Structure formats: structure tokens, C-alpha cells
Amino acid sequence: MYLSLQVSYLLTLALSVVAAGFLMRIFIIQHDCGHTSFFKSRKLNDLTGFVCGVFTFTPYEFWRTGHAMHHATSGDLDNRGFGDVQTKTVKEFIAASPWERLKYRIYRNPFVMLGIGPLFVFLITQRTPIAYRAATTKKGARGIIYTDLGILTIMVLVSLLVGFKNYFLIQFPIAVVGATAAVFLFFMQHNFEDTYWRAHPEWDYTQAALQGSSYYQMPRVFQWFTGNIGLHHIHHLSPRIPNYLLEKCHKENPEFQNVPTLTFRESLKVLSSQLALWDENQQKLISFKETYERYLSADGLMVQTESSAD
């Protein structure tokens, strides 16, 4: 990419897409290390995960803890907010103030969620001091500092070789493409119309994994770059299965094939429809538009419909 700067920045940007693909591959290795599934040794998993985290701008131990909570609470309405995209119920949205409704609508806007949001998460909220204050363990807090020092070291060394401006021109588009693709995949694997959300007394881990996580079908090359993460239902059912065995597991077990399935084209339709609120009456995600048409009057108050009465 540095050599391409002498030819055309458009070529550099094109190469950034490929580089972002390899960066996602590194993140998947880090991801599997966090689940202790990449190596048999816990120490080797943690060491490799930390090194990967320096390249992905993600403090390994801090991320691993939050991600484990995501797996333990995915689809549980009473335990939301751990490593997932914020999702409100229709009732919560209606009960919120106009300002809170506006903030949530901005947050769930695709341009914010896939544009500003990913960079904010990877470049800002995972850095000291923001992440440090949110760390739940001393090991996680130390890991944030060590990761930041590792990132800073790479920035300084590479900038001394090629210049800071060139470093920025190369690194920034990789970060944009990689972060956006990662958040897009994560979002689509849990946010579709018939996904799974239940109050804790009715919540079931197996159902949350198989019905609340989609099978995202991809061409073979993208499947490799993303480490088979599209087989998300199997991963949520058993996180200790390494990424290179997920497809084999899917093919050998027919019950894993009867799950919510999405293609890239279908996922774009889901994204454009802005399914953002969980309707406990209909047991599905609905859009802001449907929420206003079905449950809200012109002055913003809840109206009594047949389903809301139920």
C-alpha cells in the first residue's frame, strides 16, 4: 500500500479493502483465542489473542470479558447491554421521553451505526481512559494499557519509516473498512425480523443460539476472510468449536440447517427496513415506522390496538 501511494491513492484505497479482509481474519483468530478454541493451551490463546488485539485496536482481555457476557445473555431481555447492539422494546420506546426516542433513532440509523459507530468503538471507546474505567478486572485494565502501548509503538516505528502522513493515509481506510464490515456482520447475525428475545424466566440458551443467531451465507472467499463467522448459530450454541470446524459441524447435523438464513441481498433489505424495536406482542423486530403506525397516536401517546390489548 505504501508503494501504491506513488501510483494513485485510488489504488491504495482498493488495496485497503483487501488489507481489511486480512485484518478481519486476524480478529477471528483473536476471537477464537478468547473462547480458548484456537489452541489447547490457555496461555498460548491469551498470548496470541493479545498480539492480535494490538493489530485490531482491540484490548484482548477487556474485549474477551465483555464478549463472554454477550454469549451468556444473548436474547435475554432482562440482561441486555453486554457486547451487543442496543435494542429497545416497543413499550420502552413508547415510555421514553421525546429526547430519548430521538437519541435511540439516531443510534439505530444505519449511517451512524455503520459509519460513525464502528470507528468510535474501535478507535475511541476501547482506548484508555474510557475503556480503563469500564474494565471489570485488573488484568483487563492492564491489558488496555499494554495494547495502547503496542499500538503507539507500531505507529511511531512505521511513521519513522514511511512518514506519519503516509501511515495515516494507509491505516485509516483499513480501519474504516474493517470496523464497518465487522459491525455489519455482527449486527446482521442478531438483528433480523424473527430473531429471538425473551424475558429471563422464559429465556432458553439453546433457542437463543439457534433462533437468535443467523446463518449468514457468503461466497467461499468471504467465508475464509471472516473465519466462518456466518455460521453464527453454531458458534453461539458451542463457542469452543474453532472457526475451521464450524462448516463441517453445520453439514453433518441437519438440525443446524433449519435456522434463520440470510444472504447479502436479504441483509441489505433488513438494514434498509430499520428493524429496531422488539415487539413483545408479535414476538419479532419491527421498524420505527410500524411502531408509530401501530402503537402511537399523532401526539406520540400509546394507542390501544388489538395486539397491544393482548
Q: What is the pLDDT of residues 88-131, one digit of tens each?
A: 999 999 999 999 999 999 999 989 988 899 999 999 999 999 99
Helical axes 9-34 vs 42-55, angle rounded to 10°: 160
Cα–Cα distance, 93 to 289 (Å, whole number)? 13
pLDDT > 90: what percent of the chain? 77
Structural domain of 176: 3-309
Q: In this structure, which long-range contacts are made by residues 221-226, counting pairs with CB atoms below 8 Å and at least 24 apart in sequence? A: 222/21, 223/247, 224/25, 225/21, 225/22, 225/24, 225/25, 226/24, 226/25, 226/28, 226/185
Average of per-residue pLDDT values in the chain: 91
Cα–Cα distance, 150 to 43 (Å, whole number)? 19
pLDDT of residue 82: 77
Strand-pairing partners, residue 277, are 88, 286
pLDDT of residue 216: 93
pLDDT of residue 306: 45
Average pLDDT for 21-35: 96
Which DSSP letter does residue 262 get? E
| Residue 204 identity (one-letter amino acid) | D
What's the longest Cα–Cα distance across the chain? 68
Residue 10: Cβ within 10 Å count: 9
pLDDT of residue 273: 86
**pLDDT above 60: residue 72:** yes
Cα–Cα distance, 222 to 213 (Å, whole number)? 19
Average pLDDT for 253-282: 89
**pLDDT above 70: residue 1:** yes
pLDDT of residue 231: 94
Q: Using one digit for the tens of pLDDT, what is the confidence trace for 37-58? A: 999 999 999 999 999 999 999 9
Which residue, 221, 173, 224, is CA-closest to 19?
Answer: 173
pLDDT of residue 303: 59
59 to 21, 63, 135: CA distances (angstroms): 20, 6, 10
Contacting residues for 301 by C-beta, under 8 A, at least 6 apart: none
User: By mean pLDDT, which of 160-169, 208-217, 268-277 is the weakest?
Assistant: 268-277
What are 211's three cell numbers? 433462533
pLDDT of residue 81: 78
153 to 67, 132, 150, 158: CA distances (angstroms): 27, 19, 5, 9
Contacting residues for 256 by C-beta, under 8 A, at least 6 apart: 210, 233, 234, 249, 250
pTM (2 d.p.): 0.89
Going through the chain in order, the beta strands assigned E by DSSP cover 88-89, 215-216, 261-262, 275-279, 284-287
What are 127's three cell numbers? 482506548
Residue 258: Cβ within 10 Å count: 9
What are 39's three cell numbers? 489452541
pLDDT of residue 297: 61
Average pLDDT for 125-151: 93
pLDDT of residue 178: 94
The domain tally of the chain equals: 1
Q: Using one digit for the tens of pLDDT, what is the confidence trace for 230-242? A: 999 999 999 999 9
**pLDDT above 80: residue 299:** no
Q: What confidence category does residue 17 fall into, taking pLDDT thresholds of 50, 70 and 90? A: very high
Q: What confidence category does residue 227 fall into, taking pLDDT thresholds of 50, 70 and 90? A: very high
pLDDT of residue 272: 86
